[in-house]
Amino acid sequence: MKPLANIVLKSVRRSFWDYLIYVIASSIAVTVYFSFLSMSFNKELTQNSRVELPISVTLQISSFLILIFIACFMMYTNLFVAKRREKEIAVYHLLGVKKSQIAAMLFVENLILGNIALMIGLAVGALFSKLFAMILLRAMVITADTNIIVSWRSLINTVLIFNVIFLVMSVINSSIIYRKQLISLFTHNDGASNEHFGSFKRLLAIVSLFLIGVPLYLAVNFEELGPIFNIWLRRNDYLLVIVMIAVMIILGTLLVFYCLIPILLRLMQKWHHFMYRGGRLLAFSNLKGNLRQNAVMLSLMTLLIMFSLSAFIGMATLYSYAQKTIDQVAPAHFITDNYHLATVKKVLKENQLEIKQQVTGHFKIIPMRTSVQLNQKNSSKPKITPITIMSESDYNRARRIQDGLESIKIKSDESIMILHKLARYQIDGEKQLIHFDQESLNQLKIQKYQSIFPYGETHYVKNLMIVDDKVYNGVKSDTRYNLTAIDIKKYQAFAQSENDFGHKLDDQAKEQTYLQLTGTSLENTHYNFSAQSKSRYHYQNVGVRKQVAKNVTQLTGFFIYVTCFISIILVVATCSIMMLQQMVDLRQNQKTYSLMQSLGVTNKEIRRIVYQQTAGLFLIPVILGSIEALFTFNIYVALFDLPNINVIIFFWGTFYAMYYGLFLITAHVLNRIINNRN
């Protein structure tokens, strides 16, 4: 064997634990990326869904996000391992090995290890992708066989991408010998404490409080802040607020770990009454050392925990939003327009489904001209859009079948506008000018805006206006239609049945009626119903609650799965690396524990110290991450809906239980290593 190869092999054997961290970290990265990518390329999975879901795209975007995280994560682990080997590299150089030889050795070594990790990761990933896909199918209530054969496309993709990453890291590693002077490789500080908190560091600690506090303020007042941006941005930029919050939290978290926590711990150490109790002094100083060495890792952990917990709130929001959506899109078991009523009734009869009750509403569609007031003199170019008109008594009648509908009372000179929720934000921030060609409508004041449509929002071409019955009767329109909502007896049995009777109705439901526009001026504009040619304006003919519920469940199932998957994998991966790092650090701290034993510290006390310092290490990120995640609660409420608290409790509870488990495992393993060695 060549001498260089020999050195490589020997050095791998010697630094086994350091390499193990690197290989495990890289394998986890490969496994996650590969199994996610496999799923996104899996046709059975992406085509089996009945919903028009961008599953493949979402999974690919997720894979990309995971990849970014993974690249940072691997780079960090790599630097961590590389730093530990500086002395070894220096010794080689001192013994007369050429720089080019050392660089070559490090390069080859890194590439080999990377590819070992790649192979392990791919093998585990191939197994896991099937498991993950099965869980996903279940979450989406799809019954299909998942004969997942390893996807070559994702395999090649993964191999290529990771070899690029390994190559970059190999170059970085092998360049150490050129970048650093021999003496600096030798004098690498072994974690001895030399901390000085200058005024700059103290200032940064205060800045970190500010950077965490401001997002809290922004999040709490989120709903009011969007319109404020209108003043200088001319639009309600909620996205900008969210980006600002995210950037501040990321910076704030980093500064908290770099400046604030070390200063706080130092202050605590001066609190002798608390510190001079048993092993606390040691636990604290070890914790302090750990925090300083792993500030980046811990910040990352905090942000990931925040991301996960916040995503769980998102899931809870989605869940309650989904339940509401079902009620809002399909408030009754079947909803049909007058053109398809006969078909629906026929199908119901054929399937022996008895009608419990039915309600019908009448609608007129007319053109409306809208523009936005830009300043006192100017307004934007007017747009002509259709609007549906409904009478007050028809609206109130719909409440018989639709519980969520608010009761209304309208005077003869008033109207109520029902708009989609997101459209409401625009209306709130802008001064809308509305004009009709019928004077009776132009005189109406808008009493209020609402967002729940009677009969479900998909059965309208656009927005809906409720007017007094007399006004309704006076509205001239050639374009009229009715909607009938039907509730059947024994719905639960029907909803749970596998009976695909629905197909007939499903096909009807997929059809849409289009509204054709003729003429260009408001007075000449005319709408006609058409079944064939597509236009921007259309409504759904038939709505089946069972189908809506199924689609929504698939949608929520998919997103809940993807979110949980990403969050859990990332947090577990970070925690595992944390654990391995602790084990490596332990080898350096072995002296401390031997000394403690000669000072007469019992194994039980050492155990307590180990648990205390590990608890500190795990607690700080989870507390900070949880607080940061709580900020986002208000944002979800403002943008979407009130999250379902039970779902939050479930997900957060599960997360904390898992996290606690990881802490126990880490502390237990560390304690065993210490107490067995001494």
Structure-token pair, residue 95: 């013994």
Segment (H or E) for 62: helix 55-84
Q: Cβ distance 319 to 473 under 8 Å?
A: no
Q: Taking a C-beta distance cutoff of 8 angstroms, is the pair 520, 306 a contact?
A: no
| Footprint on residues 280-299 left by another protein (CB under 8 A) | 280-282, 285-286, 288-289
Kindly state whether residue 201 participates in binding another protein, applying the rule CB under 8 A: no
Nearer to another protein, 194 or 518 (CB): 194
With binding defined as CB under 8 A, does residue 381 bind another protein? no
**The binder of another protein chosen from 143, 147, 181, 193 (CB under 8 A):** 193
Q: Kindly indicate which of the ranges 10-18, 177-185, 372-380, 589-597 contains the residues binding another protein, using the contact rule CB under 8 A.
A: 589-597
Question: Which CB sits closer to another protein, 44 or 86?
Answer: 86
Choose among 541, 160, 487, 552: nearest CA to 321: 552
Is the Cβ of residue 552 or residue 606 nearer to another protein in the bound state?
606
Please tell me the distance from the alpha carbon of residue 419 to that of residue 13, in angstroms, as a whole number: 68
* Residue closer to another protein, measured from CB, 275 or 408: 275
Report how far apart, in Å, the C-alpha atoms of 288 and of each of 135, 268, 292, 663 are.
41, 11, 6, 18
**What letter does residue 373 receive in the DSSP assignment?**
B
Closer by beta carbon to another protein, 113 or else 610: 610
Return the range that interacts with another protein (CB under 8 A); candidates 41-49, 159-167, 357-365, 603-611.
603-611
Binding segment for another protein (CB under 8 A), chosen from 268-276, 296-304, 348-356, 553-561, is: 268-276
Q: Which CB, 2 or 604, lies closer to another protein?
A: 604
- 590 CB-near residues (< 8 Å, 6+ apart): 674, 677
How far is the C-alpha of 30 from the C-alpha of 22, rounded, in Å?
12
Answer yes or no whether residue 191 interacts with another protein by CB under 8 A.
yes
Q: Which of 272, 377, 381, 445 binds another protein (CB under 8 A)?
A: 272
- List, in sequence order, every residue forming a beta bridge with 338; answer none if it has no partner: none
Q: Which residues contact 502 (CB under 8 A, 6 or more apart)?
A: 544, 546, 547
Using CB under 8 A as the binding rule, whether residue 602 contacts another protein is answered as yes
SS3 assignment, position 487: strand
The residue among 144 and 281 lying less far from another protein, judged by its C-beta, is: 281
> Is 116 a residue that touches another protein (CB under 8 A)?
no
- The 3-state secondary structure of 374-429, one letter per residue: CCCCCECCCEEEEEEEEEHHHHHHHCCCCCCCCCCCCCCCEEEEECCHHHHHHHHH
Question: Measured from the CB of residue 196, what is the shortest distance to another protein in angstroms?
Answer: 10
Say whether residue 657 binds another protein (CB under 8 A): no
Stretch that binds another protein, among 209-217, 250-258, 325-333, 596-604 (CB under 8 A): 596-604
- Which of the ranges 314-322, 378-386, 486-494, 587-595 carries the binding residues for another protein, by CB under 8 A? 587-595
CB 245 within 8 A of CB 218: yes
Question: Using CB under 8 A, which of 13, 43, 445, 591 touches another protein?
Answer: 591
- What is the x/- site pattern for another protein, positions 28-47, by CB under 8 A? --------------------
Regarding 3 and contact with another protein (CB under 8 A), the answer is no
Closer residue to another protein (CB): 135 or 275: 275
Residue 653 lies near another protein (rule: CB under 8 A):
no
Going residue by residue from 225 to 264, which x/- string records binding to another protein, judged by CB under 8 A?
----------------------------------------
Q: What is the size of the binding site for another protein (CB under 8 A)?
A: 32
- Measured from the CB atom, is 16 or 276 closer to another protein? 276
Applying CB under 8 A, which part among 89-97, 273-281, 369-377, 428-436 lies near another protein?
273-281
Q: Does 213 bind another protein (CB under 8 A)?
A: no
Question: Binding residue for another protein (CB under 8 A) from 190, 224, 498, 523?
Answer: 190
DSSP readout, 497-518?
Answer: ---TTHHHHHHHHH-EEEEEEE
Please compute Rg for the chain using Cα positions. 32
Given a contact cutoff of 8 angstroms between Cβ atoms, the answer to whether 66 and 132 are in contact is no
β-sheet bridge partners, residue 538: 514
| Residue corresponding to tokens 């001079």 | 276
Distances (CA, A) of 286 to 435, 461, 600: 72, 66, 19
Choose between 290 and 320: whose C-beta lies nearer to another protein. Answer: 290
Piece of 265-273, 310-318, 453-461, 628-636 that binds another protein (CB under 8 A): 265-273
Indicate the residue among 56 and 285 with the shorter CB distance to another protein.
285
One of 199, 599, 657, 676 touching another protein (CB under 8 A): 599
Q: How far is the CB of 140 from another protein (least distance, A)?
A: 51
Task: Among 48, 101, 163, 269, indicate the residue that binds another protein (CB under 8 A).
Answer: 269
**What does the alpha-carbon distance between residue 213 and residue 260 come to, in Å, rounded to a whole number?**
14
d(CA 322, CA 239): 22
Sole binder of another protein in the list 279, 361, 367, 456 (CB under 8 A):
279
Tokens standing for 257? 């770990």
Residue 576: how many other CB atoms lie within 10 Å: 17
Closer residue to another protein in complex, CB, 289/543: 289
For another protein, the closer of residues 44 and 585 by Cβ is 585
CA distance 278 to 611: 14
Please, which residues have CB within 8 angstroms of residue 401's CB and are 6 or more apart in sequence?
331, 332, 357, 358, 359, 485, 487
| Spatial contact of 370 and 293, defined as CB atoms under 8 Å apart | no
Query: What secondary structure letter does DSSP report for 198?
Result: -
Q: Is 152 or 271 the residue whose CB approaches another protein more closely? A: 271
Residue 243: how many other CB atoms lie within 10 Å: 11
| Binds another protein by CB under 8 A, chosen from 143, 147, 181, 194 | 194
Residue 198 in contact with another protein, rule: CB under 8 A: no
Report if residue 676 touches another protein, rule: CB under 8 A. no
Bridge-based pairing of strands 445-450 and 383-391 is unpaired
Binding site for another protein (CB under 8 A): 190-194, 269, 272-273, 275-282, 285-286, 288-289, 591-592, 595, 597-605
